[in-house]
Structure 1
Amino acid sequence: MPELPEVEVTRRSFADRIAGARILGVSLGKPLRWPLGIEPASLVGQGVLGVRRRGKYLLLELDHGLLLVHLGMSGSLLFASDLPPRGTHDHFELVTTQGVLRLHDPRRFGAVVHASGLDDPVAAKLLGKLGVEPLEAGFDPAAFHRALRQRHAPIKQVLLAGDIVVGVGNIYASEALFLAGIRPTTRADRIGLPRATRLHAAIVDVLGRAVALGGSTLRDFSSAQGQQGYFQMEAMVYGREGQPCRVCGGEIKAIRQGQRSTFFCPHCQRP
C-alpha cells in the first residue's frame, strides 16, 4: 500500500506541472472504492489551483471545490502530456491543458472524491479524524507522549491507527520503532518521555529519508513521472525476517499484528 512518503513523492512529481491547468475532460473506468460524487462533466472548464496532501490523501484544489485522491492498496498516478490509450486498470483520467492525470489501480481500493471544500461532510468524514502531520512543525514530542499515555494498545498498532500521528504506515512504523529501540508489542502507555522523544525523532527521520529516496517500491509503486523508490534497499528490519540485524548481527524476527507483518530485532528493541 502506498504510504505517506509514496503519496508525498507522488504529489511532488506532478503538483508544479499541473498547477494552473484547466480541465478539458474527465473519464471514469470501473467503480472505485467510493463514487466521484459529482457529474464528471461539471468539472470541465475548472482550473487546478494546486495540489496538497493530508495524510495519505492528495487534495487537488479547483476553482470550485476539490478532488480528494486516495491511492488505496495498489494505486498510482501518472501525469504526462501524452499517454497511451487507457488500459483495463486505468479507472480515472483528468485531461487538462497541461497534461493528463491518470489513476492506475488494479485492485480498485483507491478513490477520487469531489468535495465542495474542507468543511464538506464528505471531506470531514475522510479527513476529520486524521492525526498531526509528522513532517510539519505541529508534530510536538511532548504532545506525542501525552497522547501515547492515553493508549493501552501495542505501540505499532497505535502508530498505524493514524489518529495521533498520520501516515506512519506498516513499513515506516517498523523502521521507526527499530531506530528508537522500542519493541513493537510494547504498550503505548508504558513508553516514557525519553523513549517517546526518541520515537518522535525516529518517525521524522525515517519518513524524511523515505521521501528523499522516492518512497518504497515493493511491488509496483512509481511516482507520477514513472520513477520507482529506493528506501526499501535501506530498510533495517522491514522484509528482512531471518536475516542478520545490521546493528547487532542477531536474527530479525517477524510477527503478525492486526493482520499485518511486523519486523523487529529482539536484541536491539526492548519491550
Structure 2
Amino acid sequence: MPELPEVETTKTSLLPLLNQKVLSVQVNNSSLRWPIPNDVNQLVGQRLIGLTRRSKYILAQFENATMLWHLGMSGSFRLSDSRDALRKHDHFIIQFDDIQLRYHDPRRFGCILWLDDHAQSKLLDTLGPEPLSESFNADYLEQKFKNKSVAVKVAIMDNHIVVGVGNIYATESLFNLGIHPAQPASSLTRSQIEKFVIEIKRILKQAIDLGGSTLRDYTNAMGENGYFQQTLLAYGRAGEMCINCETTLENIKLGQRASVFCPECQPLKRPQASKNPVSKVKSK
C-alpha cells in the first residue's frame, strides 16, 4: 500500500496539471472502494487550481469543486498522452489541455470522491496531526501514549494519533532506535518518545527525498520509481542478518501487519511490577 512518502511524491508529480482546464472526463469502471460519483462531468471546463495532501489523501481543488483521491492498496496516477494505449485497470481518466491523467487500480480499493461535508466529517475530521508538522511533537505523543497499553508499533500506525506512519516507516524507525515493536506504548520513556518523534520525521523526509519506496509496482505520475527501499535495514528482511550485530532478524505479526525486528538490538522490556504491592488480607 502506498504510504505517506509515496502519496506526497505522487502529489508533487501531478503539479504540471495546475492551471490546466478539464476538457473531458471518462469513467471506465466506477466500482472502487466507493462508487465514483455520477456527476464527475461537472469538472469539464474547470481548471485545476490547487493540489494538497492530508494523510494519504490527495485533495485536488478545481475552480468550483474539490475532489478527494486515495490510492488504496494498488492505485496510481499516470500522466499520459491521449494516444497511449489504455491499460486494463485504467478506471478514471481526465483529459486536460495538453495531457491526460489516468487513475490505475487493479485491486480497486482506492477512491475518487467529492470533498463534501460528508467526506470531510467521515474521512478527514477524525485524523491525527501530520507527522512532519509542528503539532506532532514529544509533548503531544507522550500525552497520547501514556494510557496506551497496545504495542508501540500499533499505536504509531493509528491514524487517530498521527497520520501516515505506515508499516515500512514505523518498522525502520523502531529498528533505528532499538525499540521492540511490541513494546507497550505507555512504557516508553520521555527520552525515547523525543527520539521517536525526531526519527519519524527524519525517515519520512528521507523517503520523500528518495521518491518513496517501490517494493512492487509503485511509480509516481511520471512513471518514476522510488529509491527508499534501497536503504531498508529491517522491513522485508526477516531471516537475514542484522547489520548491527549479525543476529537473525525475526518477524512477528502486530495489528495484522508483519513486524520485523532484531531480538538482540530491540529487546522487549516488560513493564516493572509495583515495588510495593498491596497485601491481601486473609478472611478469618
TM-score range, shorter chain: over 0.9
Given that residues 57 and 69 in structure 1 are in contact (C-alpha distance below 8 angstroms), is that contact kept between their aligned partners in structure 2? Answer: yes
Given that residues 38 and 114 in structure 1 are in contact (C-alpha distance below 8 angstroms), is that contact kept between their aligned partners in structure 2? Answer: no
The aligned residue for residue 277 of structure 2 is: none
Measure the CA separation in 1 of the matches of 2:56 and 2:83.
25
Q: Counterparts of 1:160-179 in structure 2 under 5 Å?
A: 160-179=157-176
Q: AA paired with 1:179?
A: N
1:137 to 134, 156, 169: 134
State the 1:233 CA deviation.
Answer: 1.2
Q: AA paired with 1:11?
A: K
State the 1:220 CA deviation.
Answer: 0.3
Q: Deviations 1:91-142 (Å, cap 9, x if unpaired)?
A: 11111114211111100001110124xxx12122111111111112222121
Measure the CA separation in 1 of the matches of 2:98 and 2:59.
18
Which ranges in structure 2 are unaligned for 5 or more consecutive residues? Answer: 269-284
The aligned residue for residue 211 of structure 2 is: 214
User: Is residue 254 from structure 1 mapped to residue 251 from structure 2 by the alignment?
Assistant: yes
Which ranges in structure 1 are unaligned for 5 or more consecutive residues? Answer: none
Measure the CA separation in 2 of the matches of 1:133 and 1:67.
20
Q: Deviations 1:66-90 (Å, cap 9, x if unpaired)?
A: 1111000011111234451322201
Structure 2 SS opposite 1:146: helix
Measure the CA separation in 2 of the matches of 1:202 and 1:42.
44
The aligned residue for residue 224 of structure 1 is: 221
Q: AA paired with 1:65?
A: A
State the 1:216 CA deviation.
Answer: 0.7
User: Is residue 24 from structure 1 mapped to residue 23 from structure 2 by the alignment?
Assistant: yes
RMSD: 1.3
Given that residues 80 and 100 in structure 1 are in contact (C-alpha distance below 8 angstroms), is that contact kept between their aligned partners in structure 2? Answer: yes
Q: AA paired with 1:264?
A: F
Q: AA paired with 2:28?
A: G
Q: Deviations 1:138-189 (Å, cap 9, x if unpaired)?
A: 2212111111113221111112221111000111110111112210001111
Structure 2 SS opposite 1:147: helix
The aligned residue for residue 71 of structure 1 is: 71
Measure the CA separation in 1 of the matches of 2:120 and 2:237.
38
User: Is residue 233 from structure 1 mapped to residue 230 from structure 2 by the alignment?
Assistant: yes
Given that residues 18 and 98 in structure 1 are in contact (C-alpha distance below 8 angstroms), is that contact kept between their aligned partners in structure 2? Answer: no
Q: Deviations 1:35-66 (Å, cap 9, x if unpaired)?
A: 23351221111111111000100000111221
Q: AA paired with 1:33?
A: R
Structure 1 residues 73-82 or 255-264, which shifts more? Answer: 73-82
Q: AA paired with 2:152?
A: I
User: Is residue 109 from structure 1 mapped to residue 109 from structure 2 by the alignment?
Assistant: yes
Measure the CA separation in 2 of the matches of 1:78 and 1:107.
17
Measure the CA separation in 2 of the matches of 1:207 and 1:98.
33
1:48–1:177 distance in 2 versus 1, CA, 3 Å? same
The aligned residue for residue 243 of structure 1 is: 240
Q: Runs of 4+ in structure 1 displaced over 6 angstroms?
A: none
Structure 1 residues 142-151 or 187-196, which shifts more? Answer: 142-151
Measure the CA separation in 2 of the matches of 1:108 and 1:83.
24
Measure the CA separation in 2 of the matches of 1:91 and 1:44.
18
Q: Counterparts of 1:5-154 in structure 2 under 5 Å?
A: 5-15=5-15, 17-30=16-29, 31-82=31-82, 84-116=84-116, 120-154=117-151
Structure 2 SS opposite 1:161: coil
Structure 1 SS opposite 2:157: helix
Structure 1 residues 91-100 or 4-13, which shifts more? Answer: 91-100
Q: AA paired with 1:29?
A: N
Q: AA paired with 1:113?
A: L
Structure 1 SS opposite 2:34: coil
Paired residues in the alignment total 267
The aligned residue for residue 180 of structure 2 is: 183
1:270–1:198 distance in 2 versus 1, CA, 3 Å? farther
